[in-house]
Structure 1
């Protein structure tokens, strides 16, 4: 394994901003894909890490909106600060960073990052932080390892049932949350992906008993992952995992590191909550 580490903790800026109709639009906020709000989010969603500067024509093509409509909504987003313009190019604006920095995910990532770095140094492999959002795992941070063994970039998602992170969180979640995953479609990403509901339920029970969840080439061929939950106040707020080539073996030697790291992050989160509560009460 390459001993050189990289830190990939950046997430795409994103926030739910309340946008009213542009002057003269006469378009309702409701009404599905015909509303100005849907169109605004369609435009904001076309920016990613690889293409963070886009022309109006590119925005129109990637969002699927007519160029005249894209121009009108882009103009409004620039006025609000959600987009910024430089010459012919547009990028996400400072308002998006401001909104994104207020999210609980950002606080979690900032608290966890020093501990993730230590875990990556100790294991020599990719360490990840993720949370459950609906039926998916949202990846908040990645430290260490090789890019070729990286399941998805930070800010992207994978279905929870095919990831160690997802199974670790689900094992410590309530029945309703688990049912959301078990009762939905269990898609196959690799030949090893567990798509049988009974088998997945058994894997969750095992993860609960061992406090460790596994992914044996279920998300990426040739990649094994182990994950443990970050439990605060009796529930899994998130999970951390270590990912390594299948040739390394089962990875049981990494479990103590994961468990120690999870406990430290959980304590740090509780301390952060207590500090915020004291600050709020004294304001």
Structure 2
């Protein structure tokens, strides 16, 4: 990475110029890394060039720097994301604290329900999944750690909206609400009603709004300052789901996770 930075900073006296150059190069690095989708184990140089919209020579030069840093790795003649990215990701304080606090209780929930358990946080107008304990049986479109979904159609997203800042709700309802399935709530009025119900009950429920045949129940996870740090959910096939049971177990687990987070923060 030092080579990337050095190539952009020609002089300590030309701060504005070097800053602009660094941003430009980092922007190119971002385009390279974001060329990799969730289902891409590896990509050729040609495919990265096509997806990034950059010149092939630039992609090749920066890819060599990223290989030396460990952000990219070789897979034959192709490239794949490197373990260095995973290593750096583990250092993010909020992610690490929340995941470490929640994981034991996620395991307990899985033992009690035999269903899929998710831990999610807010990222923009999406939920970002930090951790997952898979349930019995294969979901038709399985979720994944580091995957994202819209806030308005997921139980975790509805909880983060219901117990988050009002400005976020205003931002979400002001934008078009994408219809993921025929049952996705796609009008502001209906979404606001669901959020009000979540505040009253302490949990959110979505029926087939993300995947046909599945429902999810979620609760907020509250930090030491009373701020909602994330959401915990159970996802199950509709035919065998027990919403009342899941809500009770989640609320108990949520209180325990919040207590653990508080203890970790004060320690």
| Aligned equivalent of 1:281 | none
TM-score normalised over the length of structure 2: 0.85
| Aligned equivalent of 1:218 | 209
Identify unmatched segments of 5+ residues in structure 2.
11-16
| Aligned equivalent of 1:20 | 5
Between 1:266-275 and 1:140-149, the stretch displaced more is 140-149
Is 1:157 the counterpart of 2:142? The answer is no
- Displacement of 1:198 in angstroms is 1.4
Q: 1:22 to 1:83 in 2, by over 3 A?
A: farther
Q: 1:76 to 1:107 in 2, by over 3 A?
A: same
CA–CA separation in structure 1 for the residues paired with 2:177 and 2:213: 21
Is 1:209 the counterpart of 2:200? The answer is yes
Higher relative helix content: 2
Is 1:231 the counterpart of 2:186? The answer is no
Is 1:127 the counterpart of 2:108? The answer is no
- Displacement of 1:236 in angstroms is 1.4
Identify unmatched segments of 5+ residues in structure 1.
1-16, 276-283
CA–CA separation in structure 2 for the residues paired with 1:151 and 1:198: 29
- Displacement of 1:136 in angstroms is 0.5
SS across alignment from 1:147: coil
Q: 1:180 aligns with which of 171, 185, 192?
A: 171
- Displacement of 1:192 in angstroms is 0.7
Q: 2:62 aligns with which of 60, 63, 73?
A: 73
Is 1:57 the counterpart of 2:40? The answer is no
Runs of 4+ in 1 over 6 A off after TM superposition: none
CA–CA separation in structure 1 for the residues paired with 2:3 and 2:240: 49
CA–CA separation in structure 2 for the residues paired with 1:84 and 1:40: 15
> Conserved in 1, the CA contact under 8 Å of 2:128 and 2:147?
yes
| Aligned equivalent of 1:167 | 158
> Conserved in 2, the CA contact under 8 Å of 1:130 and 1:239?
yes
CA–CA separation in structure 1 for the residues paired with 2:55 and 2:242: 52
- Displacement of 1:218 in angstroms is 0.6
SS across alignment from 1:131: strand
Q: 1:90 aligns with which of 66, 79, 88?
A: 79
| Aligned equivalent of 1:252 | 244
CA–CA separation in structure 1 for the residues paired with 2:132 and 2:3: 31
Q: 1:137 to 1:206 in 2, by over 3 A?
A: same
TM-score normalised over the length of structure 1: 0.81
Count of paired positions: 257
Q: Which has the higher contact order (CA 8 A, sep 6+)?
A: 1
The CA RMSD over aligned residues, in Å, is 2.8
